[in-house]
Amino acid sequence: MALLEVTCPAPALENAAALIEMRGVVKVFKTPAGDFPALRGIDVDFHRGEFVSVVGKSGSGKSTLANMITGIDRPTSGEVLIGETAIHRLDESRMSHWRGRNLGIVFQFYQLLPMLSLLENVMLPMDFCNMYTPQEREERAMALLEQVGLADLAHKMPESVSGGQQQCAAVARALANDPPIMIADEPTGNLDSRAADVVFGIFEALAERNKTIVMVTHDNDLARRAMRTLRIADGEIVSDTGRVDAGRP
């Protein structure tokens, strides 16, 4: 699925040097104790098909960096460009619509709706963005649950399956609208090592299908398995290992 802004045709990105560009991104939070600079002039690119881990100590700014890409947070200054869309300039309504079509987001605590089955949870983004016909939505949701090994549990409620299975369902939900970008914020933080390995394996397979994966993690062993690792300290990128060539499409 091509990236697009809500009101414009999809831009041609096949020859673009980077899919995501962050330029001079500063984020300052107002706190009772004064201003807290979470990001201090971040300049970084992410490319199609990259699987990038973002690591750093608690409070280093790694989740804030991810939130700049998802639009959950807006930069105090600087630019966040995805394709030809300056997402930091979208209002909340356009941002919500754009996000639903272009980003898959996976959180640490799954955030499945407890009153819906796994199948219904996966169908929800398609309903929200009015994508596919009702029959296609169910067929697609089943296919995604099969991809993550949950087809037999499609009609189960979230509380009746394990944490690892809930997270796999959350990954399937994030893929519902076939987004080109997946943002995962500590997706394995609540999982045992076996379940974490399953979720990580799904991300690896997605990168092989040319999806761009940006994963915030505290797990250094998992982080080292990604194609590229950004390390953040005090709101700045202090290392960037495994970076692709600047000319990669």
Domains and their CATH numbers in the chain: 20-241 (3.40.50.300)
Given CA atoms 234, 239, 245, 248 in this order, what sign does their dihedral have? Answer: negative
pLDDT of residue 243: 56
How far is the C-alpha of 87 from the C-alpha of 112, rounded, in Å?
26
Cross-strand bridge partners of residue 27: 39
pLDDT of residue 247: 36
How far is the C-alpha of 121 from the C-alpha of 141, rounded, in Å?
9
How far is the C-alpha of 203 from the C-alpha of 24, rounded, in Å?
28
pLDDT of residue 239: 93
User: Quick check: 11 and 4 in contact, CB under 8 A?
Assistant: yes
Backbone angles phi, psi at 190, to 5 degrees: -105, 15
| Geometric angle at alpha carbon 19, from 16 and 21, rounded to 5° | 105
Average pLDDT over all residues of the chain: 87
Report residues of the chain scoring pLDDT below 50.
1-16, 245-249
